[in-house]
Amino acid sequence: MVLDPPSMESDGRDILDIALETVRQHLGMEVAYLSEFVGDLSIFRAVSAPGLEEMAFPGKELEKSAVYCQHILDGRLPRLIPDTSAFSIAREMPITHAVPIGSHVSVPVHREDGSVYGMFCCLSPTPNPSLNERDLRVMETFAAIAAGQLNKTLIKRAEQAEAALRIDGLLQGGEGLQIVLQPIVELATGELTGFEALSRFSGTPYRTPDVWFSEANALGRQIELEALAVSKALALMPQLPPGASLSINASPETVTSGILATLAEASEPHRLVVELTEHAIIENYERVSEEIERLRALGVRIAADDVGAGHSGLTQILRLKPEVMKLDLGLVRDIDTDSAKRSLVRGMVYFADEIGTRIVAEGIETEAELVTLRRLGVHKGQGYHIGRPVDLAGTQAWLAARALPQAV
């Protein structure tokens, strides 16, 4: 009998589960499982045992001395046992009669470094004299498939553990997160109107902010990390010019958590702009809308970020009713030489004026881009050409330089 390797495409199950079920059915046995050795324990990590779930289930722990595994590894029992009564060691083990185990096939599964992770096993309560060396080869093939997937899983688990340590350390102390500020000005006059607070992370190797927030999201810690960034940003507000707004970034999940309203209440909410990042589709508009109205009641303004990219469509903007729309830097880049971008931005300015929204252009890097945006009627802008994101000391130096008389 020739068996095709299990595929992930059939129903989305883990390949380990598919491998166990396939080999169990091929051998005509009732139970198949993958175990991990942890100290003196053998712990079931994946199981196929329909109708016997109470006996064999993921997480079940057995003493290694109570099962066949160590005897098989040490050569005292063979990997293929068509009839357990034919081997004195198996006959004398309590588990043989308690389960019961009449036939048994088991092969070790190795990590990439060659060490034994655990065992890939099949068993039946009755003897199976038809089991032969070909069946053992099939078992070994599927064990190799399991090992391949297992090693990927172990690598992923190690990466997740490292990420968890990084995120935990950051959230506990907060020293690895710094807030930098980028100025936002009126394009028509150059007058400062506010700053956007941006997160910067320390650590080796260097990881960009999106990687940090993505890791936090994968670990279910995104709201905590965003709340830390917002708290640090709000702490800077008293040291900024009194009339300057402060824009902070937040995902829909953090908005719906309610933590932003709590933090805003303890600051100066009338100076706060919440930029709703929409790299993911908003799934619960009703809940988001409730929190947005709660923020607005405090005096907070809402901005739709990255307009023109991702999921920031006009329908979504109409539902959010933002006070500010921030043009994605992809629309701003080289707008002075791109007539299609100019036409699109001209239409967006008209749209914004019609619904009473202010437009901020992000990523302005050249004088030509700034002049073009000003001519198109874009209200505000930010970017390296206006001011780079810098820490509080750098921001204060930037403000001081602007206050100095300009040479004629």
401: left (phi over 0), alpha (psi -120 to 50) or beta: alpha
Q: Which residues of 164-176 are buried (b: 16+ CB within 10 A; e: fewer)?
A: eebbeebbeeeee
pLDDT tens by residue, 7-27:
333 333 477 888 899 999 999
Lookup: tokens for 74: 């040490």
In the chain, list all ranges with CATH 3.30.450.40: 15-156
pLDDT class of 405 with cuts at 50, 70, 90: low
Lowest mean pLDDT among 44-48, 77-81, 193-197, 314-318: 314-318
pLDDT tens by residue, 335-386:
999 999 999 999 999 999 999 999 999 999 999 999 999 999 999 999 999 9
Which of 168, 122, 129, 130 lies closest to 146, judged by CA? 122
Does domain 174-403 bear CATH number 3.20.20.450? yes
Residue 278: what pLDDT? Answer: 54
Contact status, residue 68 vs residue 104, Cβ threshold 8 Å: yes
Per-residue pLDDT, averaged over 213-239, amounts to: 95
Residue 11: what pLDDT? Answer: 37
Strand 177-186 relative to strand 116-124, pairing: unpaired
Q: What is the mean pLDDT of the chain?
A: 89
Residue 371: what pLDDT? Answer: 97
Lowest mean pLDDT among 138-142, 184-188, 275-279: 275-279
CA distance 248 to 267: 13
Class of domain 15-156: alpha beta
Residue 313: what pLDDT? Answer: 62
Q: Is 270 a residue whose pLDDT tops 90? A: yes
CA distance 261 to 299: 10
pLDDT class of 312 with cuts at 50, 70, 90: low
Q: Identify the H or E element spanning 162.
A: helix 133-173
Long-range contacts at 350-354 (CB < 8 A, ≥ 24 apart): 351/314, 352/325, 352/379, 353/377
The count of other CB atoms within 10 Å of the CB of residue 88 is: 9
Chain centroid to CA 236: how far? 28
Percentage of residues of the chain with pLDDT beyond 70:
93
Residue type at position 103: S
Residue type at position 34: L
With tokens 């009339």, the residue in question is 243
Residue 68: what pLDDT? Answer: 96
Residue type at position 47: V
In degrees, rounded to 5, the angle at the alpha carbon of residue 384 between the alpha carbons of residues 202 and 231 is 45
In the chain, list all ranges with CATH 3.20.20.450: 174-403
Per-residue pLDDT, averaged over 169-173, amounts to: 88
Quote the pTM value.
Answer: 0.70
Percentage of residues of the chain with pLDDT beyond 90:
73
Which of 300, 227, 273, 239 lies closest to 382, judged by CA? 273
pLDDT tens by residue, 134-158:
999 999 998 888 888 877 877 777 7
CA distance 46 to 56: 9
Residue 280: what pLDDT? Answer: 53
Contact status, residue 341 vs residue 331, Cβ threshold 8 Å: yes
Q: Identify the H or E element spanning 134.
A: helix 133-173
CA distance 16 to 151: 11
Contact status, residue 325 vs residue 348, Cβ threshold 8 Å: yes
What string of DSSP letters covers 288-346?
HHHHHHHHHHHT-EEEEEEETSTT--HHHHHHH--SEEEE-HHHHTTTTT-HHHHHHHH
The count of other CB atoms within 10 Å of the CB of residue 239 is: 9
Lookup: tokens for 128: 């199976």
SS3 390: strand
Contact status, residue 42 vs residue 72, Cβ threshold 8 Å: no
Residue type at position 162: E
Per-residue pLDDT, averaged over 310-318, amounts to: 67
List the beta bridge partners of residue 179.
199
pLDDT class of 282 with cuts at 50, 70, 90: low
Residue 306: what pLDDT? Answer: 83
Q: Is 387 a residue whose pLDDT tops 50? A: yes
CA distance 188 to 390: 24
Helices (H) and strands (E) in the chain, counts: 15, 14
Residue type at position 228: L
